[in-house]
Structures are given as structure tokens and as C-alpha cells.
Amino acid sequence: MRCLTLCGVYHFKARNIDLRGHTLKILLTNDDGIHASGLWAAARSLSAVGEVAVVAPDREQSGVGASMTLHAPLFAHQVPAEQYLLQHAPGDDTPPRSADAVREPSGNADLDLPNPITAWAVQGTPADSCILALEQLVNPKPDLVVSGINRGSNMGWDVIVSGTVGAAIQGFVRGYPTIAISVGSVQSPRYGLAAQVVAALARRLADAPEVSPPYFLNVNVPNEPAEKIAGVRITRLGGRAYGESVRTEESFGHRRYWISRNRPILAGGDGTDISAHKENHITITPMGMAFSTTDERINLVQGLVDGAGILPTPAPAADAAAV
């Protein structure tokens, strides 16, 4: 059974990070699974910045949001990072290599990794993977949590259902600087530029003498070569990026339903990630966990509640002087 966290108030202690003379330690997770090319494109790029611990679901987990497994055990096993890099990491936006291309699981000179990469596959959700990594698997603790590179954008209100963002939330609420990063296409995604972007952001963290309080950045990179990128915009979340459709299927006397997020809505507005992304900008949206509201809405709802008669009106107090 999984519980979906949609809203709430989190209280956490910020982790003051001083990285001077210290090798950056990075936790990398995702929702596309341990075999996803975007994950290993990020791992390769981030290894130039610091030591990378990959802890990701053992299978595709897109669209599960921040759900976590509460009523069943979790299982995790180490996987050979070098072999997975050779097999799954794309080169300069080339397709991943086939399994036949993997000859040697370790010590391959072609990898030329500046810093080591370790990897775990978790039989659970993206949030499970991040929690397990931070609470048990990764020691010493990381300085930065990265989730991605996701195959397809995560913008606007759609971040609520995003497993990429759901995993990142678990790092942020524990006080870690956190980056969720996605590339703007499900079909033929180009991971090269996104990998450069996340490495540049991680490197800036390593160069900064102190970072407090922690940040949570949601980054979306257009699925275009670098020369077609208009620039970088700091944005806020837009509205709905995609809507759902339901397809029915008859099979052996049973009706089945398939939910797809395939209806572009792209309700943006000035200053939003959706609008800037459509103009071919890399968008960086500072995120938080204040699922709250405005004073105006509180007053409106107060009027609604006052007129709803939720609790019975207490009877007037009896006159003490009455006989």
C-alpha cells in the first residue's frame, strides 16, 4: 500500500555546508528507474564534480509523485555502476549502447571517471529510494541530492504527480540542497545539455563556501541542442502542463482502462516555467514546501464556513434570574 503525500507542513533543520577542501558527495536518484539513460548521463557528468552515489528504483516509476511504501518491506541491492554506465549512459545525445557492447564490468579505461560512482537498485518508489539512501545506504551523508535527468518535462502543477520531484522532496525536507532536473521530451530525449546544466549547478555549490538554508531547484531543459537555447530564466510554477485521457480496452470479456497524460494544456503566464520553456529557455524554479494560501482566501473560506452551519449553534445561556 502506498500513501500519496500531496500537501503538508514540514519542519526541518537546515544543514550548513562548508565544502572548502572537501570532495562533494552527491546522491543521485530518479523515477525512470535504474536502467534509464538520463540517470547515467547525470552520473557521468556529476562524477566530474564529486563522488556520486546512485540509488534509484529498480523499474520505471513515473507519475507516482511522493508516494512511499509503508506496509511492506523494501529490498535493495548493489549494481555494477561501471557496467551500467557503459550500457545505459548516452554519449553526446546518442542512443544507449546495447547489452552486447558490455564486455568488462569494471576497470574500463573508456569510462575515465574523475570520481567514483556507486549504485543501488531499490524495489520501491522514487521517494522510497531517496529515504533509504539518506537514512541507511549512503555514508557519509551527501552534500547534495539530485533527482533526474527525467525523460519529459516536470513543470507547473504537474510537479505534484512527478516521481522525480517526489524523490527530491525527501532530500529537501531533510535539509539537503536539492535539484530535480528534466529534459523536455519523452520521445528521443537529448540528455547532453541537461547533464552539463546539473553539473554546473553542483559545481557552483562546491565552490560556494557556505550554503544555508537549503534550496530546492526544479530545472527543465528544452530538448534542443545548446545553440538553439534562448537563455536561462528563473521562474515560478505555471498551471497545468498536461491533462489526462482515458482509453478503454476489451479483453476476454473484461474492460480495462489506461490513463495517459497526453493532452497538452500548457497554461503558463508571464514569468512561469511553462511560458519560458516554450520560448526555448532553460527554466530554474525555486521550490518550497509551503502548501499554504493567502489571507484573502482564508477570509473567503471563513465566510463559507461561517454560513455552512458545520457545528450547531449553541443555545443561549439560561437566565440565572429566571424561576
Give the pLDDT confidence of 64-94 residue by residue, as tens digits: 999 999 999 999 999 999 999 988 876 544 4
Integer angstrom CA distances of residue 172 from 57, 144, 198, 241, 271: 19, 10, 16, 24, 24
216-221 and 281-286 strand pairing: antiparallel
Closest CA to 171 of 143, 130, 137: 130
Say what the pLDDT of residue 305 is: 86
State the Cα–Cα distance between residues 134 and 320, nearest whole angstrom: 64
The whole-number average pLDDT for the span 271-294 is 88
Average pLDDT over all residues of the chain: 83
CB 239 within 8 A of CB 267: yes
Closest CA to 146 of 234, 31, 238, 37: 31
Q: Which fold has domain 2-239+267-294?
A: Stationary-phase Survival Protein Sure Homolog; Chain: A, (3.40.1210)
| Whether the predicted pLDDT of 103 surpasses 50 | no
Closest CA to 28 of 122, 153, 152: 122
The percentage of residues in the chain with a pLDDT greater than 70, rounded to a whole number, is: 78
State the Cα–Cα distance between residues 119 and 34, nearest whole angstrom: 9
- Which one has a higher pLDDT value, 313 or 257? 257
Q: How confident is the model at residue 22 (pLDDT cuts 50, 70, 90)?
A: confident
| Whether the predicted pLDDT of 322 surpasses 50 | yes
Give me the residue label for grid cell 525555486. 286
Lowest mean pLDDT among 125-129, 187-191, 195-199, 260-264: 260-264
Say what the pLDDT of residue 3 is: 38
pTM: 0.81
State the Cα–Cα distance between residues 287 and 245, nearest whole angstrom: 28
Lowest mean pLDDT among 13-22, 45-54, 175-184: 13-22
State the Cα–Cα distance between residues 323 and 311, nearest whole angstrom: 30
For 206, the 3-state DSSP assignment is helix
